[in-house]
Amino acid sequence: MKKYWKSQQEKNESPEIKTVKHKPKGNLEQVLDIFEDGTVEAKSNRRDFLKLCGYSLAITTVLSSCENAVQKAIPYLNKPEEITPGIANYYASTYINGSDYASILVKTREGRPIKIEGNNLSPISNGACSARVQASVLSLYDSSRYQHPQIKQEKVSWDEFDKSVSDALEAQKGNQIALLTPTIFSPSTRKAIKLFTAKYPNIKWIQYDTQSASSILKAHKLCFGKEILPDYRFNKANLIVSFDADFLGTWINPAEYIKTYTDTRKLSGTSNKMSRHIQFESRMSLTGSNADERHTIKPSELNLLIAQLYNEILALKGLKKYNASESSQKIKELANDLFKQKSRSLVVSGSHDLNAQIIINAINYELENLDKTIRLDNPLQNHQAIDEDMDQLINDLVSGQVKGLICYHSNPVYNHHKGDQLKKAIEKLAFSLSIHEAPNETSSLMKFVAPDNHYLESWNDSEIKKNSFSLMQPAIHPLFDTRQFQASLLKWSDLETDYHKFIMKNWEETLFPTQTLYTSFKPYWEHTLQEGIFEIKNNSQAKSKFAQVDIQKAFDKLTQKPGTKNIELQVYETIALGNGTSANNPWLQEMPDPISKICWDNYLNISPKQAKEMELENGNMVKLNDKLELPVYILPGQAYNSVSIATGYGREICGKVGAEVGFNTSGFTQNGFSNVKLQKIEGQYDFAMTQTHHSMEGRAIVREANLDEYKKNPKAGNDHKHKYKNAGIYKEPEFPNHHWGLAIDLNACIGCGACTIACQAENNVPIVGKKEVIRAHEMSWIRIDRYFSGDENKPGVVFQPVMCQHCDNAPCENVCPVAATNHSSEGLNQMIYNRCIGTRYCGNNCPYKVRRFNWYDYTQADSIPNNLHDPAGLTSDLSRMVLNPDVTIRAKGVIEKCSMCVQRIQEGKLNAKLKGRKVKDGEIKTACQQTCPSGAILFGDLNDKSSELFKVTSSGRNYHLLEEIHTLPSVSYLTKIRNKKS
Amino acid sequence: MYVSPIREPLIKGNKTYSQITKDIAAPIEGKPGKAWYMGISLSLSAMFLGLAMMGWTIWEGIGTWGLNRTIGWGWGITNFVWWVGIGHAGTFISAILLLFRQKWRTSINRSAEAMTIFAVLCAGLFPLIHMGRPLLAFFVFPYPNTRDLWVNFNSPLLWDVFAISTYLLVSLLFWYMGLIPDIGTMRDRVKSKAKKFIYGLLSFGWTGSVKHWQRHEKLSLILAGLAAPLVLSVHSIVSADFATSIIPGWHTTIFPPYFVAGAIFSGFAMVLTLLIVTRKVLNLENYITLAHIESMNKIIIATGSIVGIAYLTELFISWYSGVEYEQYAFLNRAAGPYWWAYAIMMTCNVISPQLLWFRKLRRNLVFTFILSIFINIGMWFERFVIIVTSLHRDYLPSSWSMYKPTLVEVGIFVGTLGLFFTCFLLFIRAFPVIAIAEVKTVVKSSGEKEIKNETL
């Protein structure tokens, strides 16, 4: 196009000048121009200045009128070397609470411990954590803990306190004093105690376990000459017979047993071998609910059965039988099966009767299980208490022979059946010293209170099994003015008080020489501290010999006591609360019992048959022995004429959360059973039950088959395939990169509930309290469904963890009016909390009912004041320290649910990106998967054909929950296979 | 149009035009009686109770209601659907009956329409306050915003927003448009200056000129044409909240027609409840005659029978489908823990309206009044049964739960009843309850024989 010119001048102007003239100016230049003395050419003028002024005035007005939140975060003046804000640090440590043990990693953020993970290197806990371990981090931030030393409830300084204690100890030199502790399996602590008792020879050390293994220890002393707890190796057994030993729940060392037990029961790939498990018990325990065959018997019938079994095995071996009544067909058959599995079987018993344990030892001996499934050369150390010692101590305290008591980490006034006597005796003592973390029924009676550190603030070591060591290191400076027990002992012994150095010195002397890898101590110590564990290789293959025991006598004693018609009461510990030490932990209180699905309570379990006879229904009240009024729960599978109740509840002196929850069972022994009288009384009691319907109603929810069927057809029990491609009206989504998924092996899941607490800790899931659980307002993102089947007196039990299924055709997504829930490009069903207006339509339309609504302001995230519902005080500044900063706190009125730990996925992806590679299979683990003691949960990428998840989901056992409604879940289940005798 | 001379007259009492105006304007011009004051104080107290309960809900959270993890909707949505249903009769009468040239509608359309608007207002409250975060309710509107957030057009709840707001708008326009000539009449009749001014403003300068009448008639037809499909669509869309979900008992293709029939059924019942009282109290027996009551009762038989057939069809299809979840859902309705709600629904909605086949009962005021209350109760329970019994036992038995309303929910329901009656009581004092202009057009159209008899 031709160029037309406007005037002569324009035509003559050269293009160069033109460009110079019209060159646009930057803002800064314009501003600077103003200050030049104003020649007309190319300078900003007054107008520009005024424009600029006006503009900046407007901007400052707008910006300053926006309210800015007051930021209280103060940056590090000197950044600690190991802390990077936003990045978690992990420290290897050890969890010890009485006899509970786990080798752990403590996750800290900006110096705060926020989560416990299992330590993969540990051969004992195998990277898993129980619910109690998971919840222990919350107890650190418990404001009801002792916060300073006290003398007669008066606050004093440690210097004054130490002086008073030393003076008192000097004054009592002539009197007998007892030091009462739980079993101590820390070598350095044992050494410290030895030094302390050496300084004060009048102090006698006594160990006391609430769940004692005293009879096993004594039986081994008699049979093998060593007072030990053997190493039971469930993974080596093809046939497991348990007489009332709840080894998956609370018996001796369940964390290890769950792993070794389920290792033999997972059917992966080509393996179709599986152990068989037979349980004899009166109460439906977690172990019994997982058994292939379960026989309900009264506690008093146990002994005879053990004796008969022994007799039958002797008969099969062609040996002389002892004199006992004719055994039933069941026992004969069992003896036969055991005999066939000679040296590959395992018989255990939770009996507190010494004679029964002797016969159990004899059975295992005759079955040649010793040194195969039971090893004596690396015994467990976490139960060393002998019941008689404690009985003797109580007698001595009552009679006044022992004049002083130092009590560490045990609460016998509450949990010993002679607690009342003990209470009176302690009140009269001249010297009483308590070393506890938090006030309890025993410590509150004592004159001196030397507050102990939480284990996350302490140094320690442990030897859970012989030659298996681990270290405990503090993950945070003590929050309160407390000092750990061992340091106090050293102080009172006038020794170096730094327990850290004490342990190092002890290790340098004892353990360092046992290894050859490191030549100097420092790197050895640092390496061990980093790994958390240390093992001494032990290749001894000593043959165990059975000593001469008077079997005849033991046998006679077992067969002499015939079963009675009395109602027998057993006291047990629950999976969550144990002996009640952690009663002030709201996470554990709100964790439903695996079998009854009741939380925040204990209750009297009664058999369905007896309930019918006594015309009792769930929640009706009964009077036990004319004194204790209790609500009943009809427990399918409870033996007729036997009842059971959990201890650990009814705490009187405890923090706000645990006090007055449930009923105190004091007065009933936990060792063995007691005969009781029951009487129905008026009254109805409400249970906080998270599941109230117990039948699957014939629906294919948990799919199961027997092993023989599975061997013939790997798809056994899983033949309800509903294969319709593209049955929906929407296009099936595509996932070009990752497609995250979970697979849950129902054969491995034992229903222990560790995953639920791990999820609670990881995802800041709020606690709602008993009243709200009764109203079905619990917030758990993952729950474990438990269904009963068959005869209510001999029910079958199945467990099924259910979380958000992350459906690719999700019914919740298309009903939300504001699109607050949607699908990610990696197959995750996402919740956008700040978009959610809370219509709950998604929750209604979720066929799995995994969506949780914030009914009240549980977290103080609501904008309306004074409407907080925080029954457990978890919104206090102290408790908030446990919150995971990677997960948003949800406000009142929004829906929340499992995110498949999206924060962990994101972290894994970012780490891989930094290293310039793809995410490796197994690198990312969800919180539930990480903690699962049986490894039942597997996370992975469904798009990755080489991933473990892809392999598992391609097996014949794989199915989706409610696949017939075409929700296309990303979570799948593997059928449950039982090993019943066909 | 030919009307049989032996038919009953639509307006009784051989009224003259001026008599009609006087009769209908009487309640506005006179002083309210004791009954009115009692009514308004009762309904105002109920309304304030409801407001307090709503405030409590917003302050404390939905936790004050009896809902739980399994049952996300309870009384709130039951009441919503119930009120929307009641809001169907007015527009049905004025729009569809207008298009079908049903002249008897003229005596009842005004009050029925007013009732529609008040009912839809009550209904609209529930979706708002049942939200967890009602202060953010504006998120449901597709307004432009810098964050590029958009609503989810796949969600039936969003369709609801549009359906209900459109319905309310069109009903309100239609009602007000019909009111204009009568407001003009009132403006000319009232004495006080203030009233004259207000009615003057509201009448938009109505003079009664032929041009005005012509425009009025045209607009009536247009709005009737717009409103008629809305009558059918609103409840179809409300039913889609349930029908498009996957919950057994909700996921049913029969829902749209069944809900519309049910809505008209319940709407007419509510009209009857109100008018039987109103005609007595306001001395309008000559305008709202037994013939009107009978006509409405006939519609009740028709829609009631449709509803009954729908119930039975649902039962049959659930069995015939062979889907175990469907079968269980319906078995559970009839025989599960909420059997009593199902029994109430069946008795009130299916059995009781069949009695109207008897002419004597159709024309019996006391019976009709009781029956209309029964139907109101029955239709409330229908929604309760659909919502709660389907949700409380769905796919996974582990989550099965029970639902019981709290006093807060009951209070809110009572509050909406209070709001409804407050509005209605104010309405009868402010506007003519019968369309004066329209009723005058039918005063001589039928029943010549009887009129003659009456004059003789």
pLDDT(B330) > 90: yes
Instruction: Return the pLDDT at B450.
Output: 54
Domain match, A187 and A239 both: no
* CATH code assigned at A421: 3.40.50.740
In a domain, A97, yes or no: no
Share of chain A above pLDDT 70, in %: 93
**And the tokens for B263?**
């809505």
pLDDT reported for residue A54: 81
DSSP H/E element including A508: helix A499-510
Q: Given a cut of 50, is residue B456 above it in pLDDT?
A: no
Query: How would residue B442 be classed by pLDDT, with cut points 50, 70 and 90?
Result: confident
Residue of B nearest to A787 (CA): B398
Q: Quick check: B155 and A786 CB within 8 A? A: no
Residue A78 lies in a domain: no
Alpha helices in A651-706 (DSSP H): none
Query: What pLDDT score was predicted for residue A731?
Result: 82
Flag whether pLDDT at A904 surpasses 50. Answer: yes
Last residue of a domain, one of A380, A407, A441: A380
| 3-state SS class at A930 | helix
Higher pLDDT among residues A208 and A27, named by residue: A208
**A512 and A424 together in one domain:** yes
Q: Is B399 on the interface with A (CB under 8 A)?
A: yes
B-contacting residues in A 662-701 (Cβ below 8 Å): 691-699, 701
Higher pLDDT, B350 or A9: B350
Q: What integer pLDDT is reported at residue A719 of this predicted model? A: 80
pLDDT recorded at residue B448? 58
Q: Say if residue A825 is in the same domain as residue A937.
A: yes
Residue A241's φ and ψ, nearest 5 degrees, are -120, 125
Q: Judge whether A17 lies within some domain.
A: no
Closest residue on chain A to B328 (Cα): A697
Examine residue A616 and state whether it is found in any structural domain, yes or no: yes
pLDDT for the residue numbered A496: 79
pLDDT band at B234 (very low <50, low <70, confident <90, very high): very high
Q: Which of A696, A817, A855 sits opposite B63 (nearest CB)?
A: A855
Assess whether A202 and A323 both reside in one domain.
no
Tens digits of residue pLDDT in A786-812: 999 999 889 999 999 999 999 999 999
pLDDT in the model for residue A34: 55
Burial code (b: 16+ CB inside 10 Å, e: under 16) for A903-927 equals bbbebbbeeeeeeeeebebeebbbb
Answer with the residue of higher pLDDT: A29 or A754. A754
**Measured between CA atoms, how close is B54 to chain A, in angstroms?**
15
**Do residue A693 and residue B400 have CB atoms under 8 angstroms apart?**
yes
- Given a contact cutoff of 8 angstroms between Cβ atoms, the answer to whether A772 and B68 are in contact is no
User: Using CA atoms, how far apart are residues B433 and B441, in angstroms rounded to an integer?
Assistant: 16
Spell B416-431 as b/e; 16+ CB within 10 A means b: bbbbbbbbbbebbeeb
pLDDT digits (tens, 9 = 90+) for B269-285: 999 999 999 999 988 99
Whether A24 is in a domain gets the answer no
Report CA A603 to chain centroid distance, whole Å. 22
What is the structure's pLDDT at A310? 94
**Do residues A323 and A446 both lie within one domain?**
no
Q: One-letter amino acid identity for A88?
A: A
Residue A66 has pLDDT above 90, yes or no: no
Span A394-412, pLDDT tens digits: 999 999 999 999 999 999 9
**CB of B245 within 8 Å of any CB in chain A?**
yes
CATH assignment at residue A621: 2.40.40.20
pLDDT in tens, A209-262: 999 999 999 999 999 989 999 999 999 999 999 999 999 999 999 999 999 999
Q: Would you say residue A26 has pLDDT above 80? A: no
Distance from CA of B128 to the nearest CA of A (A): 9
Instruction: Indicate the average pLDDT of chain A.
Output: 90
pLDDT in tens, B109-135: 899 999 999 999 999 999 999 999 999
Chain B CB contacts of A699 under 8 Å are 324-325, 395, 397
Is residue B455 very low, low, confident or very high in pLDDT (cuts 50, 70, 90)? very low
| pLDDT at residue A317 is higher than 50 | yes
Whether residue A117 lies inside any domain: the answer is: no
Q: For chains A and B, count residue pairs whose Cβ atoms are closer than 8 Å.
A: 173
Q: Domain containing A230 — which CATH number? A: 3.40.228.10
Cβ-defined contact of A840 to B72 (cutoff 8 Å): yes
Nearest-Cα distance to chain B for A77, in Å, is 37
Interface with A, mutate which of B58, B62, B69 (most A CBs under 10 A): B69
Residue A16 inside a domain? The answer is: no
Confidence of residue A41 (pLDDT cuts 50, 70, 90): low
On whether both A514 and A636 belong to a single domain, the answer is no
Q: Which pLDDT does position A431 carry in this prediction?
A: 94
**CATH number of residue A936's parent domain:** 3.30.70.20
Least confident of A553-557, A936-940, B337-341: A553-557
Confidence class of residue B92 from pLDDT cuts 50, 70 and 90?
Answer: confident
Lowest mean pLDDT among A315-324, A448-457, A610-619, A831-840: A315-324
* Interface contact B328, partner A, CB < 8 A: yes
Contact list, B131 vs chain A (CB under 8 Å): 837-839, 893
Look at B396 and A783 and tell me if their CB atoms are within 8 Å. Answer: no
- Asked whether residue A779 falls in the same domain as residue A876, the answer is yes
- pLDDT at position A13 is 62
Q: Are A582 and A588 in contact (CB under 8 A)?
A: yes
Same-domain check for residues A577 and A617: yes
Reported as a single tens digit per residue, the pLDDT across B400-419 is 999 999 999 999 999 999 99
| Chain B hits for A847, Cβ within 8 Å | 246-247, 394-396
| Domain boundary, last residue among A347, A380, A413 | A380
For B:115-144, CB contacts with A below 8 A are: 127, 130-137, 139-140
A746 with A784, same domain: the answer is yes
- Give the per-residue pLDDT at A16: 53
Q: Label residue A273 by pLDDT band (50, 70, 90).
A: confident
B-facing residues of A in 864-893 (CB < 8 A) are 864, 867, 869, 891-893
B450 to chain A nearest CA, in Å? 57
What's the per-residue H, E or C state across chain B?
CCCCCCCCCCCCCCCCHHHHHHHHHHHHHCCCCHHHHHHHHHHHHHHHHHHHHHHHHHHHCHHHCCCCCCCCCCHHHHHHHHHHHHCCHHHHHHHHHHHCCCHHHHHCHHHHHHHHHHHHHHHHHHHHHCCCCHHHHHHHCCCCCCCCCCCCCCCHHHHHHHHHHHHHHHHHHHHHHHHHHHHHHHHHHCCCHHHHHHHHHHCCCCCCCHHHHHHHHHHHHHHHHHHHHHHHHHHHHHHHHHHCCCCCCCCCCCHHHHHHHHHHHHHHHHHHHHHHHHHHHCCCCCCCCHHHHHHHHHHHHHHHHHHHHHHHHHHHHHHHHCCHHHHHHHHHHHHCCCHHHHHHHHHHHHHHHHHHHCHHHHCCHHHHHHHHHHHHHHHHHHHHHHHHHHHHCCCCHHHCCCCCCCHHHHHHHHHHHHHHHHHHHHHHHHCCCCCHHHHHHHCCCCCHHHHHHHHC
Q: Which of residues 33-52 of B touch A (CB under 8 A)?
A: none
Most confident of A344-348, B27-31, B108-112: A344-348
Q: Does B158 touch chain A (CB under 8 A)?
A: yes
Contact A840 B133 (CB under 8 A): no
- Whole-angstrom distance, CA of residue B180 vs CA of residue B202: 7
At residue A762, the pLDDT reads: 97
Residues 420-449 of B with CB under 8 A from A: none
A818 contacts B139? CB cut-off 8 A: yes
Whether chain A has a CB inside 8 Å of the CB on B337: the answer is: no
pLDDT per position as a tens digit, A126-173: 888 999 999 999 999 999 999 999 999 999 999 999 999 999 999 999
Strand pairing category for A829-831 and A821-823: antiparallel
Mean pLDDT of A762-776: 96
Q: Assess whether pLDDT exceeds 70 at residue B446.
A: no
Q: Which residue of A has its CA nearest to B127?
A: A839
pLDDT at A43: 55
Report the residue from B152, B246, B393 with minimal CB separation from A965.
B246
DSSP state of A817: T
What is the reported pLDDT for A835?
94
Please indicate, yes or no, if residue A25 is contained in any of the structural domains.
Answer: no
Please give the residue range of the domain that contains residue A339: 214-380
Residue A23, pLDDT score: 57
Mean pLDDT value of segment A112-118: 95
The angle that helices A354-366 and A551-560 make with each other, rounded to 10 degrees, is: 120
Query: What pLDDT score was predicted for residue A122?
Result: 92
Kindly provide the ipTM of the predicted complex, given to two decimals: 0.94
Nearest to A754 by CA among A217, A293, A147, A95: A95
Are A174 and A256 contained in the same domain?
no
* Domain closes at, from A318, A351, A380: A380
pLDDT at A53 over 90: no
B401 with A869: Cβ contact below 8 A:
no
Overall domain count for chain A: 4
**Domain shared by A524 and A577, yes or no:** no
Pairing relationship of beta strands A293-296 and A402-408 according to DSSP bridges? unpaired
The label of the residue with tokens 């010494």 reads: A354
Band of the pLDDT at A815, cuts 50, 70, 90?
very high
> A895: distance to nearest CA of chain B, Å?
9
**Contacts A844 to B, Cβ<8 Å:** 71-73, 245, 247, 391
CB atoms within 10 A of CB A722: 12
The mean of the pLDDT values for chain B is 92
User: What is the spatial distance between Cα A588 and Cα A576, in angstroms, rounded to a whole number?
Assistant: 5
Residue A629 pairs in a beta bridge with A623
Q: Which residues pair with A958 in a beta bridge?
A: A974
A778 contact residues in B (CB cutoff 8 A):
69
pLDDT value at residue A732: 82
Q: Which of A837, A849, A869 sits opposite B139 (nearest CB)?
A: A837
Q: Quick one: pLDDT at residue A558?
A: 86
Check whether residue A243 and residue A336 sit in a common domain.
Answer: yes
